[in-house]
Amino acid sequence: MENAKILVVEDDREVANIIKNILQNTGFNVPIVVSGGEAAISATKILKPDLILMDIKLEGDIDGIKAAEKIKQSYEVPIIFLTANTEDDLLEIASETGPLAFIIKPFKAKDLVVNVKNALSQRKTIPNKIENGSFAFDKEFNNSLKNTANYIYTLEIRNNYPFIIQHSYGCIYVTGYSLEEYYSNPLLYYEIIYKDDKQIFIENLNRMLCRDLVEPFEYRIVRKDGSVRWVRNIPIPRHDANGELFAYDGLIEDITEKKVSEEFIKNILEAVDEGFVVIDRDYKIISANRAFYKQFGMNSETVIGKKCYEVFHKLSLPCYETGILCGVNHIFNMGTSHAADCHYHGDNKNQLYVETKYYPLKDISGNIVSAIVTMLDRTEKKKLEEQLFHAQKMEALGQFASTVAHEINNYLAAMTTYAQILKMKINKNNPLFKYVNQIILSSEKIAGLTRNLIAFGKKQELNIRPINIYNLIKKSENILSTLIGVKISLEIIFRPSLSQYKELIVNGDPDLLEQVLMNLAVNARDAMPDGGRLIIELNIEEKDNSFINSFECSETSKFVVISVSDTGIGMNEEIKSRIFEPFFTTKEVNKGTGLGLAIVYRIIKEHKGYIDVDSILGKGTTFRVYLPLFEK
């Protein structure tokens, strides 16, 4: 039973590989896997297997049942049928060929091994229909091979040189050349190999001569009629009584139609913009297209053969075991297509927002064998939607703040007036005088706050004129240095490419834009209590229409970009998402109103610009102000 040779006949390559791995890990020898009935007949002649595991449903004209019938006519090899179809009629027909067992898919590895061991232990003694040292079957079997479309050959190794000493009738079907032509020209087969594939053939031939394990390999040949065909070469080693390799018996099958079909499907998948992956029942990714690799910033080495939950979510367990809704699990359990919006992790650790659709892929028996997942990266769209929502929310908050400020002012005016009257009527030596004075001071602070609210909540009358941003920043340098204090260094960087600083013109209100710089500087200062660096950079960027339309910017495509960066404490995503909201602050009570950045946001919007922020917790923050470049 040990080292028993088992022929696996399965047209689903993934299932075939699973079976092969299970059997080889158990100690059995699986020298070949074929996918069709004709190939099974030919491989039986070459291999002389101790057992055949064969799927009932196979590609091609000869299914598993017909192949078993033909094999049984000349060779009493035990057969176990594999099937995912449990219909009584089909199993009854298959039973007529005398299989030792049926294995129903999907199956457990333990069940497969038990059935194989039982079959081998019950195996009948095979009649000696095979001549010792030769692969000539009886006349009836050889005659049946004349009608097969596969090309069987025997390659003998003499003094480390290969010689093809036998050709089957299948050489005519595959190559168009007759037996006589092959025997008269020993190099004919090498000569018909397509020129671009000769190196592949030579490399595999060298491995055969070096006694290396040779897997089936594919290449192209040029038939006698001039047509180019794809073939699959399956070499099987033959050893003498001492275990020395002395020959190979091989099977060459024409796979052109299958190859063309695969290439056609591959070209379609490579042409689409959607990411496309195929995931098997073990949650392994078995295929992916170019768009997927581009979206996720990955390559085949980091994806193919890996678990989908490891690749997409960086998890060690399937999603459904961790409480995450799993679309692939839904396919295998429910069998229905569906769509979902999911968050995935790209290779650069960034989180992607992906529009995902799941489809079941079924075999010819209607069983779901894998899940097809299409993915369209909507991260940028989602970001734009969130920013648009934020802008609308800010607009509503601004209107609300302005209304509240006006109401407060009405009461504040009366309160301040009466406090001033009371102050005039009380002697300075009166103990109540200082309390009245405090009321007036507090009222003035409230008045300043309401002015900020009103400024935030309504479009202001802007003193718009062409401004040279370079000059504005240089003019503000002394003020900014004073604001941030001596513990923080101020660095102003102008890109070398911006040689013509006089051309950095924007239409704006100089006082308000200076206020933007000061507010951002103060915000940076407060983020660096122990000191640090404040860096202001000036640049020009060109943006497309999607940027302009999404943020309601000016119609110009060129923007002056002012970047204000600090080396402070940074902030997390939650804080960053609320940083421009009025009254939102992370400072201590009485340390800030939470309006500084909200006012900055409002001023930039009124200048038909846009402000963005990036931050890394513990490393610092960068605000980028985009202002439309004024072009004459």
List pLDDT tens digits, range 419-448: 889 888 888 888 888 888 888 888 887 776
Task: Identify the residue with better confidence: 223 or 494.
Answer: 223
Looking at residue 141, its pLDDT comes to 44
pLDDT score of 140: 46
pLDDT digits (tens, 9 = 90+) for 23-74: 888 888 888 888 888 888 878 877 788 899 999 888 777 888 888 988 888 7
Amino acid at 381: K
Cis peptide before 106 (omega within 30 of 0): yes
- Burial, 576: exposed, middle or buried (Cβ in 10 Å; 0-12, 13-18, 19+)? middle
Angle (CA) 315-321-322 rounded to 5° is 55
Distance CA 580, CA 602 (A): 9
- The better pLDDT of the pair 132, 425 is held by 425
Say if pTM beats, i.e. exceeds, 0.75: no
Pairs from 615-620 (Cβ < 8 Å, separation ≥ 24): 615/570, 615/571, 615/576, 616/570, 617/569, 617/570, 617/571, 617/572, 618/569, 618/570, 619/567, 619/570, 620/527, 620/532, 620/565, 620/566, 620/567, 620/568, 620/570
pLDDT of residue 447: 79
> How many C-beta neighbours within 10 Å does residue 593 have?
17
Non-local CB neighbours of 350 within 8 Å, separated by 6+ positions: none
Residue 176: predicted pLDDT = 94
Residue tagged 């020298």 (tokens) = 31
Per-residue pLDDT averaged across 373-392, rounded?
A: 74
* Alpha-carbon gap, residue 252 to 264, rounded angstroms: 23
Position 249 scores a pLDDT of 85
User: pLDDT at position 346, please?
Assistant: 55
Cβ pair 220, 227 in contact under 8 A: no
pLDDT at 614 over 80: yes
pLDDT tier for residue 416 given thresholds of 50, 70 and 90 = confident
Coil, helix or strand for 490?
A: strand
Position 98 pLDDT exceeds 50: yes
Provide the 10 A C-beta neighbour count for residue 223.
15
Q: What is the pLDDT of residue 1?
A: 58
Q: What is the pLDDT of residues 472-512, one digit of tens each?
A: 998 888 888 888 988 999 998 876 565 566 678 898 988 88
Nearest to 564 by CA among 537, 544, 587: 537
Q: Which of 134, 208, 137 is nearest to 165 (CA)?
A: 134
Give the whole-angstrom CA distance, residue 427 versus residue 343: 70
Lowest mean pLDDT among 25-34, 129-138, 387-396: 129-138
In sequence order, what are the beta bridge partners of 361? 370
Q: What domains can you pick out in the chain, each with its CATH number?
A: 5-121 (3.40.50.2300), 149-259 (3.30.450.20), 272-377 (3.30.450.20), 382-457 (1.10.287.130), 465-628 (3.30.565.10)
Separation between Cα atoms, residue 619 and residue 631, nearest integer Å: 37
Please give the share of the chain, as a percent, with pLDDT higher than 90. 15
Say if residue 576's pLDDT is above 80.
Answer: yes
Query: Among residues of the chain, what percentage have pLDDT more than 70?
Result: 83
Q: Report residue 517's pLDDT band, with 50, 70 and 90 as the boundaries.
A: very high
* Residue 281's pLDDT band (cuts 50, 70, 90): confident
- Tell me: pLDDT of 551 over 70: no
- Whole-number Cα distances in Å, 14 to 80, 301, 379, 433, 567: 19, 18, 33, 91, 53
What's the CA gap between 194 and 126, in Å, rounded? 41
Cα 291 to the chain's mean position, in Å?
Answer: 8
H helices of 304-430, in order, are 308-313, 327-334, 379-425
When pLDDT is cut at 50, 70 and 90, the band that residue 452 belongs to is: low
Question: So what's the pLDDT on residue 566?
Answer: 96
DSSP-assigned beta bridge partners for residue 245: 239
Distance set, CA 285 to CA 17, 204, 237, 398, 618 (Å): 15, 28, 32, 50, 37
CB 402 within 8 A of CB 456: yes
More confident residue, 426 or 263: 426
Phi and psi dihedrals of 34, rounded to 5?
-120, 160
Residue 593: predicted pLDDT:
60
Distance (Å, rounded) from C-alpha 590 to C-alpha 13? 70
Long-range contacts at 374-379 (CB < 8 A, ≥ 24 apart): 374/274, 374/275, 374/276, 375/274, 375/275, 375/276, 375/277, 375/292, 375/295, 375/344, 376/273, 376/274, 376/275, 377/275, 377/295, 377/352, 377/353, 378/341, 378/353, 378/354, 379/351, 379/352, 379/353, 379/354
Mean pLDDT (whole number) for 129-133: 38
- Identify the weakest region by mean pLDDT among 11-15, 397-401, 536-540: 397-401
Q: Is the pLDDT of residue 193 over 80?
A: yes
Write the pLDDT tens digit of every residue in 301-337: 888 888 888 888 888 888 888 877 888 888 888 888 8
What one-character DSSP code corresponds to residue 62?
A: S
Per-residue pLDDT averaged across 160-187, rounded? 87
Instruction: Report the pLDDT averaged over residues 593-612.
Output: 84
Check whether 199 has a pLDDT greater than 80. yes
pLDDT: is 478 or 364 the higher one?
Answer: 478
Q: Per-residue pLDDT for 378 more than 50?
A: yes
Q: Collapse the DSSP code of 384 into the 3-class scheme (helix H, G, I; strand E, B; otherwise coil) and give the result.
A: helix
Q: What's the whole-number average pLDDT of the chain?
A: 81
Read off the DSSP letter of residue 565. Answer: E
Distance CA 137, CA 331 (A): 48
In angstroms, the CA 118 to CA 107 distance is 16
Provide mean pLDDT across the span 175-189. Answer: 89
Q: Which residue has the tokens 């000493």?
A: 165
Which residues are CB-contacts of 223 (< 8 A; sequence separation ≥ 6)?
A: 175, 176, 192, 229
Which of 103-107, 220-224, 413-417 has the lowest average pLDDT?
A: 103-107
Q: Which of 149, 184, 179 is nearest to 167 (CA)?
A: 179
